[in-house]
Structure 1
Amino acid sequence: MERLLVLVRHGQSEWNLKNLFTGWKNPNLTEQGVEEAKAAGKQLKELGLSFDMAFTSDLTRAQNTLALIQEQLGQENLPVTKDQKLNERDYGDLTGMNKDEARKQFGEEQVHIWRRSYDVPPPGGESLKMTAERTLPYYKAEILPKVLEGNRVIVAAHGNSLRSIIMELEGLSEEEILQRELGTGKPVIYRLDENGKILSVEDLASA
């Protein structure tokens, strides 16, 4: 029985391009983001992969990325579950602010702490730890059991919600997960054993 889990960060969004803190805001994909999503679908198809079900967040950029991947796979009718527990980390008061402007206003060190510490949230927002506290229970209750039943599952979501899942899957420390970069539109393919442990992992960002 194959236990397949593919995680893919959405393609470049309009706010990624403008270097803005995005969080729960809902910009769409750029032309580059659309092409990244299509390329992800083509890569998966070339590997001979297909899926039984999909999960995505409540945000347009992730949903559209998934839809473009489905088109490339010829799986437009794939059952899709959307849930805000897979949403990007909420950046609170930083949302919509240019990252360079934020550094000028709050200082380079403070912005770095907000962006790259595990448990220090920006004002009014979420830390990675807080993001994991909503994403991981959902992963364990809704996604992982489907994989362990033998379903081939794809999850299209966001840098930080996916980091939370990867931290659990790969057994990474708080420091290690903060160093983990996920390319936009670059699938990570996991094959798991009956206990949810990794048999193999392939990051298509390095393919």
Structure 2
Amino acid sequence: MEDQIIELILLRHGQSTLNSKNLFCGWIDPPLTDIGIEQAKSAAREIKKHLSTISKPSVSFCSRLTRTKETLLTILKELDALNNNSVEETSENVIIEKQNPLTFKNVPANPSIDKTGYKFYSSWRLNERHYGSWQGQNKKKVLSIVGDKEYMQVRRDYEGRPPDVNLDKEMEHKKNVHDDVTFGDVTEEYEFKEPNRCEKYQMEYQFGHVALPISESLSDVLTRMTPLLEDFIIPNIIESENKTGMIIAHGSSIRAMLMKLLGLDAEEIKGVNIPNGMPMIVKLSYQKIPHKNKYNIKFVDRYYLDPELAAKKAEQVKNEGRT
């Protein structure tokens, strides 16, 4: 049987309000800046030219963080406008899961419009890497405290992991929220906080247990992202109308995805930096495994739609905090 081809459009979200301040963002949940919105619109124009006769990807995915959802919705709206279509209503489906064995199910976040319009899917497994206690901290300040060797080891080594977050201090929370957990009073000022997990990820907690991180390496991101990619995202793209899917994620989750899809090792991934708002195309071939709902996937090609600008911006990402 001849291999068939699917296409992934990978994109790191547009600039967020914390990106603009040169802060480690992680699971903190800021919106896009005006620049971030314009980056999403520019990405849509590049995607439109690339898709040619296709008006938009058949299926799209994003993380559970606001900056990827805003980027995705901006791109979809812009694609409708560029194709002279009326703006199509969108409906978010949260990918929730059960353990033993791990299974995925999508649940409409806005069921009133779930049967109409364009569906997209969101999952915490596509979230940015959790930057532990570095979240909300200025990158230059962290570099000055820990030194260049540790700074780059945490940022780019496969197993590099920042110190754990202190959820009592660095997360917005209430008393007696989930499973009768009680947090102590928070008196210390902390400007940028991660959202209350029991509120932000309420749907995930309702369906089953999720073990959310308090600090992650790239290795950790790869581990939590891989089942979603293999068992939900890839099959949905294969089964879609035009076999084209768009994934709006984050620097670390896209790097982890490239490790998996391209077969990069821990040394090779060190040199991969993902700029904001620059669409990347990844082409894969696939064959269905007989008598199983799984596929053999092979890497075919990958490239940025604007390679020169992407290379320039990737170099800027590499040097964040050091210049």
- Is the pair's TM-score, using the shorter chain for normalization, greater than 0.5? yes
Q: How high is the sequence identity, in percent, across the aligned residues?
A: 36
Give the structure 2 partner of residue 145 of structure 1.
Answer: 235
Give the structure 1 partner of residue 79 of structure 2.
Answer: 73
Q: Give CA deviations for 1:73-98 in whole Å, capped at 9, x if unaligned.
A: 11553211111110000000000000
CA contact (8 A) 2:9 2:246 kept: yes
Query: What runs of 5+ residues in structure 2 fail to find an aligned partner?
Result: 81-87, 91-116, 165-214, 287-295, 309-323
Q: Give CA deviations for 1:107-159 in whole Å, capped at 9, x if unaligned.
A: 22211111111102101110000111111111111111123335321100101
Give the aligned residue type for 2:141: E
Higher mean alpha-carbon deviation, 101-110 vs 55-64, is at 101-110
Alpha-carbon distance in 2 for matches of 1:182, 1:116: 12
Alpha-carbon distance in 1 for matches of 2:218, 2:283: 25
Matched, 1:97 2:137: yes
CA contact (8 A) 2:58 2:237 kept: no
Which has the higher relative contact order, 1 or 2, with Cα contacts under 8 A spaced 6 or more apart?
1
Q: Determine which of 4, 8, 13 is the counterpart of 1:10.
A: 13
Higher mean alpha-carbon deviation, 155-164 vs 186-195, is at 186-195
- Measured on the aligned residues, the alpha-carbon RMSD in Å equals 1.5
Give the aligned residue type for 1:113: Q
Higher mean alpha-carbon deviation, 131-140 vs 67-76, is at 67-76
Matched, 1:169 2:290: no
TM-score with structure 2 setting the length: 0.61
> How many angstroms does 1:177 deviate by?
1.2
CA contact (8 A) 1:148 1:196 kept: no
Q: Determine which of 274, 298, 313 is the counterpart of 1:197.
A: 298
More strand by share: 2
> How many angstroms does 1:181 deviate by?
1.4
> How many angstroms does 1:72 deviate by?
1.5
> How many angstroms does 1:176 deviate by?
1.0
Matched, 1:206 2:307: yes
CA contact (8 A) 1:92 1:123 kept: yes
Alpha-carbon distance in 2 for matches of 1:164, 1:100: 25
Alpha-carbon distance in 2 for matches of 1:202, 1:41: 16
Give the structure 2 partner of residue 156 of structure 1.
Answer: 248
CA contact (8 A) 1:13 1:29 kept: yes
Q: Determine which of 118, 138, 148 is the counterpart of 2:158.
A: 118
Give the aligned residue type for 2:34: E
Q: Give CA deviations for 1:27-48 in whole Å, capped at 9, x if unaligned.
A: 1111111111101111111222
Q: Aligned pairs, how many?
A: 207
Q: Residue 155 of structure 1: SS of its match in structure 2?
A: strand
**Aligned in 2, Cα 1:202/1:107: closer, same or farther, shift over 3 Å?**
closer
CA contact (8 A) 1:56 1:63 kept: yes
Residues 10-49 of structure 1 correspond to what in structure 2 (within 5 A)? 10-47=13-50, 48=52, 49=54
Q: Residue 79 of structure 1: SS of its match in structure 2?
A: strand
> How many angstroms does 1:182 deviate by?
1.4
CA contact (8 A) 1:8 1:155 kept: yes
More helix by share: 1
Alpha-carbon distance in 1 for matches of 2:14, 2:131: 19
Alpha-carbon distance in 2 for matches of 1:13, 1:154: 20
Q: Residue 38 of structure 2: SS of its match in structure 1?
A: helix
CA contact (8 A) 2:22 2:138 kept: yes
Query: What runs of 5+ residues in structure 1 fail to find an aligned partner?
Result: none
Q: Residue 145 of structure 1: SS of its match in structure 2?
A: helix
CA contact (8 A) 1:183 1:205 kept: no
CA contact (8 A) 2:12 2:275 kept: yes
Q: Residue 18 of structure 2: SS of its match in structure 1?
A: helix
Q: Determine which of 111, 128, 131 is the counterpart of 1:88.
A: 128
CA contact (8 A) 1:40 1:187 kept: yes
Q: Residue 3 of structure 1: SS of its match in structure 2?
A: strand
Q: Residue 156 of structure 1: SS of its match in structure 2?
A: strand
